Structure 1
Amino acid sequence: MVIEVPRIQLSNGQTMPVVGLGTYARKAEPGQYRQAVESAIEIGYRHIDTASSYNNEVEVGEGIANAIKRGLVTREDLFVTTKLWNDNHAEAAVVPALRASLARLGLEYVDLYFVHWPVSVDASGQDTGIDFRETWRGMEEAARLGLARGLGVSNYNEEQLQLLLDAAAAPPVVNQVEVNPTLTQHKLVAWCRQRGVVCAAYTPLGLLSDARPEFQDKDALKTDAALGRVAEQHGKTRAQVVLRYLVQRSIPVIPKSFTPSRLAENLDIFSFELTPAEMDVVDSYNIDHRCVPATGFAKLKNYPF
């Protein structure tokens, strides 16, 4: 059964599916990304999220091509995103970087192109301190050329995003940030919403995710009885409750999985609704904890946290 995924309206007129397939992994076997993308599309995913720094655009593109070849979807059915890495923030570098990503993906355009981080470095990782407003001029050129149908940022704080909004001819429509039960980000989400920017959630399962083994047996999300009761009440898993919580906050989510059963589980969150009291249960786990603090960037000029 193919699950129909609702879409959220973006300020530029695009609509984005509220559940996407995240494709970042610390390690993967050859072919895993390709198979995950193809399997995801088969069961109803239409939003595929990748980045140049994930080093998987070729496989992601192959998965998309296979799904189109099989007649599962057309290119127009899909919402594909990728991201500009930190070493291509010079205005003149943006379009060539996107063209390289498109070549790896085997696509003529992406639906949304993100600036992955506000920090900038050279090829050796040294801080170049490029003003992200310069980078944005290159992003707008990519959109004018038809290489990206929409533009977004990732990991921007309020101050950085305001500077960009003040300068942009074509403002970012999405800020992709970490949001989950232990980092609920209510202030940032509300701030962005007031300015017409949708916050989308990466690492949406947070500490509940098996991808965070360092917190195994330490995370209340996996064991706390209150969350267990909410899941049991709806006949769902704890992960499904967490994803539903975010979607009910109008926050698109991009969970990652290679497992077909888990892919299906992550998409099966539209047959139930959490009550206000149940939303409060999930909210109660907030401890402002980042699973992705990116401390390796902490000394760089535009580090956002």
Structure 2
Amino acid sequence: MADLQDLLDTIAADMAAIEERGRSADYIPALARVDPARFGIAVVTAEGHSFTAGDAETPFSIQSISKVFMLTLALGKHGDALWRRVGREPSGSAFNSIVQLEFEHGIPRNPFINAGAIVVADAVLDRGAPQGAIGELLRFMRFLAEDDAVEIDIEVAGSEARTGFRNLALANYMKAFGNLRNAVDDVLNVYFNQCALAMSCRQLAMAGRYLSADGLHPGTGHQVISARRARRVGALMLTCGHYDGSGEFAFRVGIPGKSGVGGGILGIVPGKASIAVWSPGLNERGNSLLGSLALERLSEATGWSIFNGGLSI
């Protein structure tokens, strides 16, 4: 295990030496102010060992990584009926694209693009009050991470609401097709708050453990989601978790992953580990530039690609 700590330390040092760090998500004002020099990484193994390097204890806005956990909640409420409202195919388009919705009659291509995540937020809201759904997610994240310090960054949520005009358009468009059951403002209230979850790499890696353990919460033994659904969430992470950069991420890293424009990535190695990495600078497709590189190096050094040696989704 000392080798894994040494590896993370080496990766963190290598990332610190790289000058090209990408560009922060400046279209969300609260994210534009994040120091681009920050980098953190955390790994929690199947045996329960935790390893960190860099800024792994610094909270950051997990943004679209939250879509993995909201999908888990929605599947718990609605089961496979959810798939009548959102697809399971890669989009091939930007995460906030509206183009495909017209051709596909208001059914988003997958739950990890913005339109799909808005439908999932509507399913979790389930005709309730936004505060109830937000509270449910926050309690869920604290349970998964075994840490009551997980919070929603109110400043980021407000910043999202003030600038989220494209998400408003997506929601209204799907409402016109009958694919949102609740008021648009209520659904977006939930969506903006879920994206504003603030977590450190360590907390996020802890929260993702159930997806690497056939849906089981290793700390409590609670079955968070069935093993079958955990595998299917992992499959969607691999094929859709990095938007139109998902194929490149699968090619280079080879593990299921979900990115967020806050610069975080959650990686899942079935049966082996949950990984979280954070570097706020994004590449041209909206995914963490150094985070992707760090996971590529980690996968190569450990052999944790699902295409290597019997690992599978």
TM-score over 0.5 (shorter chain): no
Considering only CA atoms, is the larger Rg found in Structure 1 or Structure 2?
A: 1
Higher relative contact order (CA 8 A, sep 6+): 2
User: When the two structures are superposed, what TM-score results if normalisation uses the length of structure 2?
Assistant: 0.29
User: When the two structures are superposed, what TM-score results if normalisation uses the length of structure 1?
Assistant: 0.30
